[in-house]
Structure 1
Amino acid sequence: MKQHASRLKKLKIKSQKLVDSFFAGDYSSLFKGSGLEFYEARPYIAGDDTRFIDWNVTGRMGQPFCKIFKEERELVLTIIIDVSASMYGEFSHTKSTTAQEVLALLSLAASENGDRVGILAFSDLIELHFPPNRGQNSIFSQIQQILSLKPKGRGSDIAMALRTASEVMKRRGICVVISDFKSDHYWKELSMLARRHDVVAIRIESNSDQILPKAGYMTLLDPEEHQSLALMPSGRRFRQEYQGFWQTSRNQWRNNCRRRGISTLIINTQDDIVRALLRFFRRRHREQ
């Protein structure tokens, strides 16, 4: 518990760098926001869009009334984080550690801006779900539980997590998906989520995903399916083909996201996370 508290304190300092470096004054402009919120109903005026007639009020008052909307200023951030077995590993800085830090930095920065933050952690189960809330104490508690989470599931069902997010996100908001995306059959659900919400996909990678060591013989283990594969990656051509496969897979993933209007960010476990996020937000700011 003390270890998590110390780590959370360091993450708070890092998140302040994000706020001080870029978010101040520009945070809201980075996202499409929550859209429009119903404000009031007023009598219909010639020329009003008939699509906005409030039929319930019209029926009660005996004359046509129109709905008036105002821009929703508050941003609601929902973070979907993959805690499946493929996110963990034998190294000190695993993909899970990187994903947790990204979640913590974004949550704390959004909280600093006064916005509400919700978190959904998944494997092949919904491991944790926190509805959107605001306030530093609430955010600290949520992050603390994510840091100490011991997942019950092993597999990764991104489609299930995205369907759940679509069901619980009642109003338009921002949705950040953090995963290594080593799963299939989730594009339909991701497309549906992106139609209503501003979606950002953050792909966590490690060097071991794409670069094989020069070993004479080795066994690869799938931590989710418990399947193993024996390889002899000592040949230069084999290692190049393996690396090329992962490069092609990454490019296809990025292109599939962009076709759906989804912003993408790829973070390696060896990257400076604050610097990677700042580069991403500066690029996004230019594109808005």
Structure 2
Amino acid sequence: MNKKAKEIIIKTKKKIFGTNFGNNSSIFVGNGLDFSEIKEYNIGDDVKKINWKVTAKFQKPYINVFTEEKELNILAIFLVSGNIFFGSIKQKQDLMSEVLALVGYSAIKNSDNFSALFFSQKEEKLFLPTKNMKLLYPIIDYATSLNPLGKEVSFRKLNEFLIRLKQKHIIILIGDFYEDVDLSLVSARHEVYSVIVRDEFEENPRLDSHIFLKDPKTLKEKEFFLDKSVLNEYKRALSQKDKKLYEHFLKNDIAFCKIYTSEDPFFKLSNLFKA
């Protein structure tokens, strides 16, 4: 296992086992309960479970009845693109690996099935479901050592892959989401979360000169003159693209958060999964 993976695993273990980040399945979904039925309220029932719409309709209290989930199937998808080989403070790839580790350790601590998929335009690597924490080591090792240059993500191909899942999953997508995104089919069947990983320099570049930039997907170099007007247009276009992305997430009931390479992912993830 490489040095970077070891550092991430040590840091993650301290956070997971030294706090309440992953102490129950509510971190991933609701209260860890499946909806079962609606019944009339009886004295002693939990008032927090009152279904106010049904209560208003029939003019007497009704509650939602839930059954405890046996276990959750957690699938973390690491989106492999040349874009993640970048960072002004640390690489996005490293931050994504930290997110992956936090999700993995939290899931297994809850005795849930955890699997990891590395995907670009095809399946790069699939780690099968496990409840064994030691099997997270090769997952994080792979995440930190893979070479993403020359690769890009196809959400169409990803949809085709995920359609094959027979059981309902909680799917956690980890990437920078610069591609055209369509998760409508996936979110109709599974509970989906998106963790957007970015570097602040990408959204607010501070350059004013002739520079040569290399496309991390195609590896082609091109000369640019980046004056203030060009940078403002770039920021405007990115803002519009992100607005469209957020609207897509909201329309399809996909919870999401954005984490920058300058930030610690722990608390943002905790808030995301408990929302």
Shorter-chain TM-score: which interval? 0.7 to 0.9
- Corresponding residue of 1:217: 210
- Kept after mapping to 1: 8 A contact 2:74/2:115: yes
1:205 corresponding residue in structure 2? 198
Report the alpha carbon displacement of residue 36 of structure 1 after superposing the two structures with TM: 8.7
Q: Check whether the contact 1:30–1:281 (CA below 8 A) recurs between aligned residues.
A: yes
Distance 2:34 2:167 in 1: 9
- The corresponding residue for 2:157 is 160
Cα deviations across residues 114-138 of structure 1 (Å, max 9, x unaligned)? 1110100012231110122112122
The change in CA–CA distance for 1:92 and 1:123 in structure 2 (over 3 A counts) is farther
Tell me the alpha carbon deviations over residues 189-242 of structure 1, each in whole angstroms, 9 at most, x when there is no partner. x1111111100011111123222223221233221023444332233x433332
Larger radius of gyration: 1
Q: Give yes or no for contact 2:176–2:196 (8 Å, CA) kept in 1.
A: yes
Opposite residue 181 of structure 1, the aligned amino acid is F
Separation (CA, whole Å) in 2 of partners of 1:10 and 1:22? 13
Counterpart-to-counterpart distance in 1, 2:35 and 2:271: 29
Residue 244 of structure 2: which of 247, 252, 261 is its match? 252
> 157, 182, 188: which is aligned to 2:178?
182
Give the structure 1 partner of residue 95 of structure 2.
Answer: 98
Measure the CA separation in 1 of the matches of 2:75 and 2:28. 15
- State the Cα RMSD in Å: 2.7
Distance in 1 (CA, whole Å) between partners of 2:262 and 2:155 is: 24
Instruction: Indicate the larger mover: 225-234 or 193-202.
Output: 225-234
Q: Which residue in 2 is equivalent to 1:14?
A: 15
| Contact 1:80–1:119, Cα closer than 8 Å, also in 2 | yes
Report the secondary structure of 2:226's partner residue: coil
Q: Does 1:81 find its partner at 2:81?
A: no
Deviations 1:30-64 (A, max 9, x none): 41569599xxxxxxxxxxxxxxxxxxxxxxxxxxx
SS at match of 1:15: helix
- Specify which of 219, 231, 238 is matched with residue 226 of structure 1: 219
Q: 1:192 — aligned with what?
A: 185
Letter in 1 for 2:70: R
The 1:275/1:28 distance shift into structure 2, 3 A limit, reads: closer
Evaluate the alpha carbon distance shift between residue 35 and residue 136 of structure 1 in structure 2; reply closer, same or farther with a 3 A threshold: same
Q: Which amino acid aligns with 1:241?
A: E
User: What residue is the counterpart of 1:268 in the other structure?
Assistant: 260
Q: Is the 1:200–1:263 Cα contact (8 Å) retained in structure 2?
A: yes
Q: Which runs of 5+ in 2 are unaligned?
A: 37-66
SS at match of 2:20: helix
TM-score, length basis structure 2: 0.78
Q: What are the superposed Cα offsets for residues 4-24 of structure 1, whole Å, 9 maximum, x if unpaired?
A: 32332222223335xx23443
Contact 1:34 1:174 survives alignment (8 Å) = no
Structure 2 CA distance for aligned equivalents of residues 166 and 230 of structure 1: 41
Identity of aligned residues (%): 23
- Cα-to-partner distance string for 1:148-200 (whole Å, 9 max, x where unaligned): 33458622223212321231x2211200011111223x41xx11111111000
Matched residue type, 1:183: E
Aligned residues: 244
**TM-score, normalized by length of structure 1?**
0.75
Amino acid at match of 1:253: L
Q: Which runs of 4+ in 1 moved over 4 A?
A: 32-37
Unpaired runs of at least 5, structure 1: 38-69
Q: Is the 8 A contact 1:84 1:123 kept in 2?
A: yes
List per-residue Cα deviations over 1:79-115 (Å, max 9, x = no partner). Answer: 1111221111265611111111101101001111111
> Which sits farther off after the overlay, 74-83 or 130-139?
130-139
Structure-2 residue corresponding to 1:281: 273
* Structure 2 residue 233 is the aligned partner of structure 1 residue 241: yes
1: distance between equivalents of 2:111 and 2:77? Answer: 20
Helix, strand or coil at the partner of 1:21: coil
Q: Name the SS of the counterpart of 1:217 in structure 2.
A: strand
**What letter is aligned with 2:23?**
A
